[in-house]
Chains A and B, each alone.
Chain A
Amino acid sequence: MTAVPPRRRMVPAYLATGGRSRPSRTAFDRLTLLHSASPDPPQGLEAEHRRLWELLRPGALTLVEAAAHLRLPVSATNFLAADLVDAGGLQARSPIPRAQQIDRTLVERLLDGLRSLR
Chain B
Amino acid sequence: MDSAVSGSRIGYLPDRDQVLMKMLVAGPFGVGKTTLIRTLSEIPTLHTEEVMTETGAPVDDVAGLPDKTTTTVAVDFGRLTLPGEVVLYLFGTPGQRRFFPLWQDIARGALGALVLADTRRLAESFEIMDMVEEQGLPYAVAVNCFPDAPAHSAEVLRGHLDLHPDTPLVLCDARDRATSVEALIALAEHVLHSLPSLPQEQR
* Residues of chain A having any CB pair with chain B under 8 Å: 1-4, 6, 10, 13, 29-31, 33, 35, 51, 54-55, 58-62, 64-65, 67-71, 73-74, 95-98, 100-118
Contact = CB atoms under 8 A, between A and B. Distances in A.
23 contacts: A2-B34, A31-B21, A54-B5, A59-B10, A59-B15, A61-B12, A65-B79, A69-B46, A70-B5, A71-B3, A96-B19, A96-B20, A98-B17, A102-B111, A104-B197, A104-B199, A105-B199, A106-B19, A107-B192, A113-B82, A113-B88, A114-B184, A117-B177
Contacts of B106: 30
B93 interface: yes
Contacts of B199: 103-105
Interface stretch (B69-77, B148-156, B160-168): B69-77
B42 to A, nearest CB: 11
B86 interface: yes
A107 B190 CA distance: 10
Nearest to A117: B181
Q: What secondary structure prevails in chain B residues at the interface with A? A: mixed
Interface in B89-141: 89, 92-95, 99, 106, 108-109, 111
Interface string B45-60: 0111111000000000
Contacts, number: 157
A57 B34 CA distance: 29
B65 interface: no
Contacts of A111: 185, 188-189, 192
Nearest to B33: A1
B13 A4 contact: no
Between B11, B13, B49, B76, the greatest number of chain A beta carbons within 10 A of the residue's beta carbon is seen for B49
Interface in B20-48: 20-22, 29, 33-34, 46-48
Between A6, A30, A58, A73, the greatest number of chain B beta carbons within 10 A of the residue's beta carbon is seen for A30
